[in-house]
């Protein structure tokens, strides 16, 4: 036989052997034989809660919630603590449980006193229970279902639930919903007025302790710091007594706009609160923090909280009227003088005289020049000539109203409980 013929023969024999093996491993009709059915018979998407009991340990409850999963555990005072969970870890556990199939049946006595009991609660009201034995045999662990069946499992369920287990799956993020939908920020101090900031459209404004346009950069820095905030670690024990006796409460609210089935628009609001408590280290670099009323307490870096804990003045716009000057159609100075924008420039409404210099001085001060200092609730006792100034839009309505006072060679601009102070004015004031 030639070499070529021998090669062809070997190829044919190999192909026949492969076909025979495929037919041997196939069931009727050539289908692959089905393996053992999953032990718990559920879809991961149908899981609503998981309860885990271990002798000598508190019962842990993993609960599906809006936006993710939470972990609930009893605290030492008879109450309950709740932490956000890393969703990927829970989804991984559910996938393992859904695929878990018996490797072999086991004698009922093999399981002994259960080392762990797991109960699945499904969205349709059904439950699935699985008890796991303490001792693994040849990599397999005895397990018993709520139907009374005892089997050996190869699935690493016990390890997934204990190494490190749900307590190690706690999400270190604090604010889970701060982002593009954030509409309000409130910082309540224990010994002073609260700061309140709200968004209308694409503009932020300070609503308390004064009313003024907000510095969008300062607001965005605060929100970014909250969105990125992580606890360095969660506390499993109670915090020191008095850790939150003088806490600062930071609350972020988001507004999500939706459309009902009947076409009506609605706004769904949700808020998250973080309590910032006492120093958690001797150097004062960390703080105890608590997630609202969940009882979950952790430790966070003070530097990560700093942008949101800035004084209220830091959130006020440095310019009294951060608007486009081209929106201003009229400037009213006191009760006696009005400057009107015309095609050829600004005019005194009473005399028709050119008023470009006066209008530019007012707009430069209010719209274009950042103040040297911004204060809330503080007014200087001595000031020179004072005039009220109202900026009017093309629709005839007021854009902003101020009181401007001469102060030495500079000026003070006042509105809504805020004072903008200038060491020098950008031009001579027209009053």
63 and 138 in a single domain? The answer is: yes
Supply the pLDDT for residue 21: 38
**Where are any strands of DSSP class E within 280-363?**
286-291, 297-301, 328-333, 337-342, 345-348
Tens digit of each residue's pLDDT (9 = 90 or more) over 112-126? 889 999 999 999 999
pLDDT surpassing 70 at residue 32: no
Tens digit of each residue's pLDDT (9 = 90 or more) over 302-326? 999 999 999 999 999 999 999 999 9
* Per-chain mean pLDDT for the chain: 88
Tens digit of each residue's pLDDT (9 = 90 or more) over 79-92? 889 999 999 999 99
- Within a domain: 123: yes
Tens digit of each residue's pLDDT (9 = 90 or more) over 344-377? 999 999 999 999 999 999 999 999 999 999 999 8
Supply the pLDDT for residue 34: 55
What's the domain range around 290? 182-315
Residue where one domain finishes, among candidates 291, 315, 339: 315
Collapse the DSSP code of 5 into the 3-class scheme (helix H, G, I; strand E, B; otherwise coil) and give the result. Answer: helix
On whether the CB atoms of residues 135 and 143 are closer than 8 A, the answer is: no
Question: What's the CA gap between 307 and 303, in Å, rounded?
Answer: 8
Question: What's the CA gap between 110 and 198, in Å, rounded?
Answer: 63
330 and 300 in a single domain? The answer is: no
329 and 306 in a single domain? The answer is: no
Tens digit of each residue's pLDDT (9 = 90 or more) over 193-236? 999 999 988 899 999 999 999 999 999 999 999 999 999 999 98
On whether the CB atoms of residues 275 and 244 are closer than 8 A, the answer is: yes
- Within a domain: 35: no
Structurally, the chain folds into a number of domains equal to 3
pLDDT band at 263 (very low <50, low <70, confident <90, very high): confident
Q: Using CB atoms within 10 A of its CB, is residue 329 exposed (0-12), middle (13-18) or buried (19+)?
A: middle
pLDDT band at 380 (very low <50, low <70, confident <90, very high): low
On whether the CB atoms of residues 404 and 386 are closer than 8 A, the answer is: yes
pLDDT surpassing 50 at residue 265: yes
pLDDT band at 381 (very low <50, low <70, confident <90, very high): low
pLDDT surpassing 80 at residue 393: yes
CATH number of domain containing 65: 3.30.1490
Tens digit of each residue's pLDDT (9 = 90 or more) over 159-176? 888 888 999 999 999 998
Residue where one domain finishes, among candidates 315, 345, 369: 315
Residue where one domain finishes, among candidates 124, 147, 169: 169
36 secondary structure, DSSP code: P
pTM of the model: 0.81
**Where are any strands of DSSP class E within 133-194?**
141-145, 150-153, 182-188
């Amino acid at each position: 036989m030639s070499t070529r013929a021998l090669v062809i023969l070997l190829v044919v024999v190999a192909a026949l052997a492969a076909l025979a093996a495929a037919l041997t491993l196939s069931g009727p009709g050539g289908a692959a034989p089905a393996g053992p059915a999953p032990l718990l018979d559920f879809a991961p998407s149908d899981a609503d809660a998981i309860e885990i009991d271990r002798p000598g340990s508190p019962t842990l409850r993993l609960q599906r919630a809006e936006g993710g999963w939470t972990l609930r555990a009893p605290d030492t005072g008879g109450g309950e603590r709740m932490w956000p969970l890393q969703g990927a870890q829970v989804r991984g556990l559910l996938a393992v449980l859904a695929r878990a199939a018996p490797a072999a049946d086991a004698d009922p006595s093999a399981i002994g006193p259960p080392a762990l009991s797991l109960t699945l609660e499904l969205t349709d009201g059904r439950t699935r229970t699985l008890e796991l034995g303490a001792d693994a045999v040849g990599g397999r662990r005895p397990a018993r279902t709520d139907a009374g069946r005892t089997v050996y499992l190869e699935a690493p369920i016990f390890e997934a639930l204990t190494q490190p287990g749900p307590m190690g799956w706690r999400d270190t993020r604090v604010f889970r919903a701060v982002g593009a939908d954030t509409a309000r920020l409130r910082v309540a101090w224990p010994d002073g007025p609260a700061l309140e900031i709200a968004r209308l459209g694409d503009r932020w404004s300070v609503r308390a302790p004064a009313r003024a346009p907000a510095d969008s950069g300062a607001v965005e820095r605060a929100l970014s710091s909250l969105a990125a905030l992580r606890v360095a670690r969660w506390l499993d024990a109670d915090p020191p007594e008095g850790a939150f006796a003088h806490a600062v409460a930071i609350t972020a609210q988001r507004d999500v706009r939706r459309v009902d089935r009947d076409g009506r628009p609605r706004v769904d609001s949700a808020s998250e609160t973080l309590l910032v408590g006492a120093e958690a280290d001797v150097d004062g670099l960390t703080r105890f923090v608590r997630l609202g009323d969940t009882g979950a307490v952790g430790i966070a870096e003070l530097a990560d909280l700093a942008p949101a804990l800035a004084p209220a003045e830091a959130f006020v716009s440095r310019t009294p009227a951060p608007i486009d000057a081209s929106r201003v159609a009229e400037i009213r100075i006191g009760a006696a003088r009005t400057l009107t924008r015309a095609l050829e420039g600004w005019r005194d409404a009473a005399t028709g005289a050119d008023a470009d210099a006066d209008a530019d001085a007012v707009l430069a001060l209010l719209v274009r020049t950042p103040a040297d200092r911004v204060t809330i609730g503080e007014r200087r006792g001595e000031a020179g000539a004072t005039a009220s100034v109202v900026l009017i839009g093309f629709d005839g309505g007021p854009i902003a109203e101020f009181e401007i006072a001469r102060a030495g060679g500079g000026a003070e601009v006042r509105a809504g409980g805020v004072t903008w102070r200038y060491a020098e004015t950008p031009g001579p004031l027209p009053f």
